[in-house]
Chain A
Amino acid sequence: MTTDQHGATGDIDAIRKGFETRNYICNSHIATSIFLAEKLQKPLLVEGPPGVGKTELAKATAEMVGKPLIRLQCYEGLDEAKALYEWKYGKQLLYTQVLKEKLGDLMSGAHGLQESMARLHDFDDTFFSEEFLEPRPLLKALWQPEGAVLLIDEIDKSDDEFEAFLLELLSDYQISVPELGTIKARTTPIVFLTSNNTREIGDALKRRCLHLYIPFPDTGLEQRIIAARVPEMELRLRTQLVAFVQGLRQLDLKKLPAVSETIDWARTLVLLHARELDAELVRNTLNVLLKFQDDIDNVDGEVNALVSKAVQAG
């Protein structure tokens, strides 16, 4: 038991390091969730504000385990035909035409309707078979022989019915096609679901998933993220930049800047060959960080104070 436990901590650490070499910097909380998702074979529901790296987590995981990433973007009105499978209607039509032409040859020598029908029944029913099945992302993920990482992005944007329809997939890793029966996963995929919390996700779905909440990173973590993503930035500017963004998140804004915005801003500053943060520079580039004019106007008055605080931190 004890060795197992040490193994668990070790495994979690290994996952964290594995992410780090792939430029995805995370804390052990996130690594733990990946560890559990793998061991318990349960889907992982990731929530958090936009831009904290929910989708990125799935991508990094796919890269780490060396399996293909299959992504399904949810939107209102998404249905089975687009998420699961569709019949290849064109091919089916062609098939019937071919069949019609060949029918004469096949039926030659048959007497009466009875015999013809009997002969027809001898053929395999290929019309509804896997050959004519066009797999969509979910089915594709189940069919991958070596398993896959399935990312169901922004599940909160989809309809209630779609959520209900996912339940079978999430709990048993199988789906039912009425004409064919149940299709089971060849290898259990690792499933990620992400949500921006625009609406409450149903309890049934939540119960089947592990739940990970990714908040905005703290100062230390954000600095390491910037260091990994924008390595050409100098240490001093990086410290100042992160301190500024962290200060900004304390304000009452419509949309707080997330990690992705910090990274964009860091790249912008590197492009501008900035060496140090100053109020003028910040004002000119604030639109990279804030996405609402209201927010930019609100922050304008605070820029000087925030910059001086950030410069002190650096």
Chain B
Amino acid sequence: MSEVLGDFIRALRAADVRVSTSESIDAGKVVDLVGFNDRVTLRSALSQVLAKSEDEKQAFTETFDTFFSFEQFKERSQAANENDERESREAEEGGGDGGGGDPSQSCSAAGSGGGGTGGEPQGDSSSANMDLAGLLERGDQAKLQMALAEGARQANLNRIRLFTQRGMFTRRIMEIMGLDGLNEEIERRETSGNEKGAERLMEAREELRGQVRDYVEKQLEIFTANSGRQLREEVLAQMRLSNVDRSDMKIMRELVRKMAKRLVALHSRRKKVARRGTLDVRRTIRANIEFDGLLFHTIWKRTKVDRPKVMAICDVSGSVAQVSRFLLMFLYSLQEVLPDVRSFAFSGNLGETTDLFKREKLEQALSEALRDFGGGSTDYGRALEDFESLAMNDIDHRTTVLILGDARSNYGDPRSDILKLVHARARRVIWLNPEPRSMWNSGDSEMRRLSPYCDKAVTCSSLKDLERVVSELLRSAV
């Protein structure tokens, strides 16, 4: 497989496209079939082997376009087919030699416009350097581009990982391209009185430096753009939600969407569980007609695993509001696997927000819910009373009740008797508390009186916690 392709696949992986080994082998075959000549065909062909979902296709197209873009030298270039030339050259370069050969040879090969057949070995490096000066003088952009790409290859630019490495790589590439010789040439001209020529070369040198720098920066972006984000996402997923900065909200939303998507993929198939021991008589007889009515092949009754009806009661006061926000975000991103979600928000009074979330966009609905029900001192007793009158009759054996709150009721009666009733009717009651367990029951927290009526009471303060809870909600929904 050619080196260019290897680099490209590395760049794809950095852009969150999962490419397996067998897929990269396929990609190699595709390149052999299609070649580097026709950019559009190559792109559509590679996209079919390497990117296997809509999201990946998009990431693929973006990466392909940046990776195979050659704009630096374009503005001054006359050669229209410069791209093709470089692509095919790169292909041959990558496939042909395994990185062997000394710099001067490859450089001069590039300089003489060779097609990989290469010039005869040239011991001293001066000819290559002469070439750089010559190339700059002539303004041969296509060849310069080749020399740049070749230099980048030899400098192992594809290993660049850190922002601070830019300068070093720029210098190294310049050196490989023949910076020393160029400087000598400038000096020679200065001493020989050809000041105009020297100045011209100096200008060209600075311009080249800028171009090389741009190129290095672009490569840095290709190979590392995503690794920073991936790290950030990982950190954010484990951070306490109340500490998440406002500026990170965009990443957080994206993260919730991603997690929800993963959960949907995991749980979208309606599971069936065989109840071994109960014979499905009707279907068994039908299946055994072909055996002359002998009961040869038995079929057992199966139970479909039902999707849970979820009622989420969210405290939207103060510090809990942030966690509620993400819980609701989660639940409503799971429409496909949780079609029946009812949500309630409270701090003092409790109100149903199901319609609000159906009607409005998520962000809008969240802020409206916070405005309508947020603020005011929390009163779990009153909230549960309101919940009883609103929804108690709709709770049945398939309902899971999720309560999210810190159980700090400002020393009011938490009305645990209502929760007891809810517990008796519902399949499960799960309490999510954003505070760490050691803080429960301290001060005005009423966890001690409320938690006996929950099937489960867990701490839930980060996105990871939320994901775990929701995943469990989906899994054990029998």
A and B are partners in one complex rather than unrelated chains? yes
Give residues in A with beta carbon < 8 Å to B.
1-2, 4-6, 8-9, 12, 28-29, 32-33, 36, 39-40, 42, 45, 47, 89-90, 93, 159-160, 199-200, 203, 206-207, 209-213
Distance to closest chain B CB from A1 (angstroms): 7
Judged by DSSP, the binding face of B is helix
Contact (Cβ within 8 A) A211 B52: yes
Distance to closest chain B CB from A304 (angstroms): 27
- In the complex the two chains form, what is the Cα distance from A200 to B37 in whole Å? 35
A42 contact set on B, CB distance < 8 A: 26
Complex A-B, nearest 6 residue pairs according to Cβ-Cβ distance, in ascending order: A5-B35, A200-B265, A211-B52, A29-B44, A206-B52, A89-B290
- In the complex the two chains form, what is the Cα distance from A180 to B144 in whole Å? 65
Contact (Cβ within 8 A) A1 B35: yes
User: Taking the complex as formed, is B59 at the interface, i.e. its CB lies under 8 A from any CB of chain A?
Assistant: no
A211 contact set on B, CB distance < 8 A: 48-49, 51-53
A36 contact set on B, CB distance < 8 A: 30, 33, 45, 48-49
Q: Closest chain B residue to A42 by CB distance?
A: B26
User: Taking the complex as formed, is B40 at the interface, i.e. its CB lies under 8 A from any CB of chain A?
Assistant: yes
A209 contact set on B, CB distance < 8 A: 52
A210 contact set on B, CB distance < 8 A: 48-49
Contact (Cβ within 8 A) A2 B37: yes
Contacts A8-B33, A210-B48 given: A32-B269 contact, CB under 8 Å? Answer: no
B49 contact set on A, CB distance < 8 A: 36, 210-211
Contact (Cβ within 8 A) A207 B20: yes
Contact (Cβ within 8 A) A5 B269: no
- The 29 sampled A-B contact pairs (Cβ below 8 Å) are A1-B35, A4-B33, A5-B37, A5-B38, A6-B37, A8-B34, A8-B35, A8-B38, A9-B38, A12-B41, A28-B44, A32-B41, A32-B44, A36-B30, A36-B33, A36-B48, A40-B30, A42-B26, A47-B54, A89-B290, A160-B269, A199-B269, A200-B264, A203-B18, A206-B52, A206-B53, A209-B52, A211-B51, A211-B52
- In the complex the two chains form, what is the Cα distance from A12 to B45 in whole Å? 11
Distance to closest chain B CB from A97 (angstroms): 11
User: Taking the complex as formed, is B69 at the interface, i.e. its CB lies under 8 A from any CB of chain A?
Assistant: no
- In the complex the two chains form, what is the Cα distance from A210 to B54 in whole Å? 14
- In the complex the two chains form, what is the Cα distance from A210 to B45 in whole Å? 9
Contact (Cβ within 8 A) A39 B33: yes
User: Taking the complex as formed, is B22 at the interface, i.e. its CB lies under 8 A from any CB of chain A?
Assistant: yes
A8-B38, A210-B48 given; name 8 further pairs at CB < 8 Å. A8-B34, A32-B41, A32-B48, A40-B29, A89-B290, A199-B269, A210-B49, A212-B48
- In the complex the two chains form, what is the Cα distance from A6 to B34 in whole Å? 8
- In the complex the two chains form, what is the Cα distance from A5 to B45 in whole Å? 13
